Structure 1
Amino acid sequence: MRHTRASTALLLLPGLAVLLVGFLVPAVAMLLAPPDVTTGEVLARLGQMLTDPYDLAIIGRTLGLGLITTILCILLGFPIAYLLARSTSRWAGVLLALAIFPLLLSSVVRTFGWLVVLGSQGAIPQLLLRLGLVDEAPQLLYTPLAIVLGLTQLFLPLAVVASYSAVAQVDPGLDDAARGLGAGRIRTFWTVVLPLSLPGVVVASVLVFAGSITAYTTPYLLGGSRERVLATQLYTYASTTIDWAAASATALIMTILVFAISGISAVIGRRGATS
């Protein structure tokens, strides 16, 4: 047994070393010791951001957009994953491939499509205009709605993949047993499938939320300078104003948000698994 554990540790050692040197060390240096800036200056700038109404508005907007995107992705993605996992059709694999195919495309390409659809001459504003619902084509770009739509499209396939793997591990026989005891499809879904799939839903939620609050391209293209989020603000600090203290403080806030939501989701997942 000791020999097996020692062999396992040796096998893990190269990967852990690469992770430590290639990820953790640069990440800590970026967050707490950027170029020509001391850790004290970073923490001081962090304190200023947490009391400045402008920065707090950006933090709140980022958190709100991330939560809304996560909720939408789970509400849309989990039913799709459930239907695909329980499907007996020979086309189920093809449909699953189509569901996750957008992951193979660049986020820039997928986001650019929304510029065409949501612009004043785009399909949606022109449709609203021709239906007589508005007097003039509305400007849907550079709004929180545009960002949410773009992020939802961007991360929905990720939610489907994570949820599918969780639902696929739930024995379909449990569905049949619940129906045999008199439970309908909806009750079976809520009382059997969803609780057993909750750890996968938690993983999907964390992945979508982390991606949403750290995404740059989609908020930049669809939100512009009017709807700033932490990622676009970080880019401004790092490349325009060259304020490394503010850039590190912004990155630190983003990291804290991700870890906080991950911790909360882990607790929810454990309680769901033990209930």
Structure 2
Amino acid sequence: MSRKTALLLLPGLAFLLVGFLAPAVAMLLAPPGESAGTVVSRFTEMLTDPYELRIIGRTVLLALIVTVVCVALGLPIAYLLARSTSRWGGVLLAIAIFPLLLSNVVRTFGWLVVLGANGAIGRALTASGLTDDPPQLLYTPLAIVLGLTQLFLPLAVISCYSAVAQIDPGLDDAARGLGAGRARTFWTVVFPLALPGVVVAATLVFAGSVTAYTTPYLLGGSSQRMLATQLFSYASVSVDWSAAAATALIMTILVFLVSGLSSLAARKAATS
């Protein structure tokens, strides 16, 4: 790195260090009125508390489900958009990522209308005679998965699209010329080459799902707490800063752990 480049990077790095990293470390290890030892002690207590372990397990499980669903839906959509020769391809891509421009509060509120007792799904089931009373869909794991999937699917699409778009379409034609069908071409040619981008998409979706607050709070309520909603409760309701810092530390460790594993998987995929 040249000296000029280093000087250009220095202001941004200094701002990142002072404005983000230092406050985050201070909040994680020494919140107001607490010591680092208290936070570490509370952290170890949470790892043995059945109630906290259920919240951690629920958060990880739902985040993994959302990640799998978003990648499974986003990769084929990205492939179709990247290989589209229609003049409307750009418009379709814009439509696919348009939800990113909307507030997640607005998108989540739509699920309240759909999944509520008097919502579209409940009315449809009762009108069809399948049930006498509308089923309880809100404040369930299913509601959280649906909301987070809608929230992060555009992110998965755009991440996979950037990876698929860099793959030469001539490889698809060559594979089909050798007798491979579309499905086999996708799995044996496109998917391995796009795997690093898929790993990035999975990492972003998982990290976002673990740390999401608004959607789990509105669709899960107090009966389906996740780490982010538990953190808010500790910080704003019970004002237990050591517990809030320990919960934030657990979330940070989960995100960094998955990011590290994803980086290793991406490097292995790139060298294989």
> 1:154: Cα distance to partner?
0.5
Work out the CA distance in 2 between the residues paired with 1:17 and 1:180: 54
Give ranges in structure 2 of 5+ residues lacking alignment. none
Q: Deviations over 1:222-273 (max 9, x none)?
A: 0000000000000000011010000000000000000111111112112222
1:68-87 correspondence runs (5 A): 68-87=65-84
Tell me which residue corresponds to 1:51.
Answer: 48
> 1:104: Cα distance to partner?
0.6
Structure 2 length-normalised TM: 0.98
- After superposition, the CA RMSD in angstroms is 0.9
* Percent identical: 74
Work out the CA distance in 1 between the residues paired with 2:14 and 2:189: 42
> 1:129: Cα distance to partner?
1.8
1:56-205 correspondence runs (5 A): 56-205=53-202
> 1:133: Cα distance to partner?
2.1
Q: Are 2:37 and 1:40 aligned?
A: yes
Q: Deviations over 1:146-189 (max 9, x none)?
A: 00000000010100111100100111111111112222111111
> 1:134: Cα distance to partner?
2.1
Which SS does the other structure have where 1:120 is aligned?
coil
Work out the CA distance in 1 between the residues paired with 2:172 and 2:9: 39
User: How many residue pairs get matched?
Assistant: 272
**264-273 or 85-94, which deviates more:** 264-273
Select which of 189, 192, 205 maps to 1:208.
205
> 1:114: Cα distance to partner?
0.5
> 1:17: Cα distance to partner?
0.8
**Structure 1: which 4+ aligned runs deviate by more than 4 Å?**
none
Which SS does the other structure have where 1:127 is aligned?
helix
Select which of 18, 25, 31 maps to 1:28.
25
Q: Deviations over 1:7-46 (max 9, x none)?
A: 1111111111111111111110110011010000000000
Select which of 257, 260, 268 maps to 2:257.
260
Give 2:72's aligned amino acid.
Answer: L
Tell me which residue corresponds to 1:9.
Answer: 6
